[in-house]
Amino acid sequence: MNSTVRKTSNRLADGREIVYFDENPDAPERTAQDTRDLPQVSAASEIRRDPLTGEWVAMAAHRQTRTYKPPADLCPLCPSAPGKPSEVPESDYDVVVFENRFPSFAQGVPDAPPATIDEAGIVPVAPGKGRCEVVCFTSDHGGSFGQLSPTRVRTVVDAWADRTAALSATDGVRQVFPFENRGEEIGVTLSHPHGQIYGYPFVTPRTERMLQTAAAYREQHGRHVLGDVLAAERASGERVVAEGEHWTAFVPPAARWPVQVQVVPHRQVADLTELTDAERDDFARVYLTVLGQCDALYDRPLPYVAGWYQAPSDTDRELSWLHLELLSVLRSADKLKYLAGSESGMAVWINDSTPEQIAERLRTSGRQAV
């Protein structure tokens, strides 16, 4: 973590942890107390393994009651104000992380021995043990990640890395996934600039598939598949949209989504904790360029999902290559891509644009925005 960032941990009224990351070491001490009368969090998550695909599915019915599109003056992610306590007791903050009050996975779920959901014994069921956190990137309710300063993005990266280390060491967690959902079209119910971090109790299906592919490629070629893809993209340049000393952003050559960008470090690292100071600083510059291109693409805030592909905490780290992927469902200024029969039913994607067209549109939008 940047030596100038100060980390302070506290507790909310119901016992959940809250962690502040301050860029100025002389910022006020984070001692404000949560004055709300909150019941203890009660999460009843469980996971069931699909017998046909082998994939785990989480059941978290308690999330039905989570906060849904509150008015701006009652935003639970804004700093607390007189008469309006929120999830953040302080009157201001830089970056803050706290345990989700409506978690998909939690430490408090009851332990249970291995079991199945019925006497047939073919659908394993287990506690949804893990951890879910909320990351607020700024106290400015009307801001966005793309409007952050490079210094603030660096602070967010430090927070992601800190929480990756913490969650990786948490009981039951096997993989850590920091991500941001942005825009109502994506399903966002809180408009304040924020993301989440999931600590899964299993290795996710997408990661399992990527690790299998990486293992087979290494067996055949002796190299990492993403390393070779990165080298090819940098050599061609046709799908590259931004690059720095340590990172390159490009539209993947088999892009599924109307807008899809991968941001890849030039050095193989397993997760965010392994990035150097220089790599973290350079990521901030490259990623802000990408976000600027995205928002200029249709001259409106682009709805997107952006997430970090990290190694599992306990296996196959040598087969992993950290990268961020951003995708959007917006295929024109006023049209969405819906996952229809082929995508939803067979996971066979059909893109209305070529990756080369997507990359050229992003580069052009970025130049026009300058």
Instruction: Tell whether the model's pLDDT for residue 68 goes beyond 70.
Output: no
Residue pLDDT, tens place only, 286-308:
999 999 999 999 999 999 999 99
Domain architecture of the chain: domains with CATH: 6-202 (3.30.428.10), 206-369 (3.30.428.10)
> In terms of Cα–Cα distance, which of 140, 8, 6 is closest to 72?
140
Instruction: Tell whether the model's pLDDT for residue 159 goes beyond 70.
Output: yes
Mean pLDDT, residues 41-59 taken together: 91
pLDDT band at 65 (very low <50, low <70, confident <90, very high): low
Determine the pLDDT at residue 227.
98
Q: Coil, strand or helix: which one is 144? A: coil
Instruction: Tell whether the model's pLDDT for residue 66 goes beyond 70.
Output: no
Determine the pLDDT at residue 67.
67
Mean pLDDT, residues 62-91 taken together: 85
Mean pLDDT, residues 312-324 taken together: 97
> In terms of Cα–Cα distance, which of 33, 20, 29 is closest to 98?
20
Residue pLDDT, tens place only, 115-151:
999 888 999 999 999 999 999 999 999 999 999 999 9
Q: Is the torsion defined by CA of 303, 99, 143, 26 positive or negative? A: negative
Residue pLDDT, tens place only, 89-124:
999 999 999 999 999 999 988 888 889 998 889 999
Instruction: Tell whether the model's pLDDT for residue 361 goes beyond 70.
Output: yes
pLDDT band at 266 (very low <50, low <70, confident <90, very high): very high
Determine the pLDDT at residue 61.
73
| From 62, 194, 246, 323, active-site residue | 194
Distance between CA atoms of residues 181 and 240, nearest Å: 23
> In terms of Cα–Cα distance, which of 243, 263, 242 is closest to 252?
263
Instruction: Tell whether the model's pLDDT for residue 370 goes beyond 70.
Output: no
192 annotated as a binding-site residue? yes
Instruction: Tell whether the model's pLDDT for residue 164 goes beyond 80.
Output: yes
> In terms of Cα–Cα distance, which of 251, 280, 21, 284 is closest to 145?
284
Mean pLDDT, residues 172-186 taken together: 96
141 annotated as a binding-site residue? yes
Q: Where are the alpha helices (DSSP H) in the chain?
A: 150-168, 205-221, 225-236, 277-297, 346, 355-369
What is the dihedral angle through the alpha carbons of 80, 81, 83, 88, rounded to the nearest 10 degrees? Answer: 0
The Cβ of residue 163 has, within 10 Å, a number of other Cβ atoms equal to: 23
Instruction: Tell whether the model's pLDDT for residue 367 goes beyond 90.
Output: no
CB of 275 closer than 8 Å to CB of 265 = yes
Mean pLDDT, residues 352-367 taken together: 94
DSSP sequence for 26-87: TSPP--PPP----PPP----EEEE-TTT--EEEE-GGGGGS--S--GGG-TTSBPBTTB--S
| Most trustworthy range by pLDDT among 67-71, 118-122, 345-349 | 345-349
pTM above 0.85, yes or no: yes
Is position 266 annotated as part of the catalytic site?
A: no
Determine the pLDDT at residue 345.
94
Which of these ranges, 20-24, 31-35, 43-47, 141-145, has the smallest mean pLDDT? 43-47
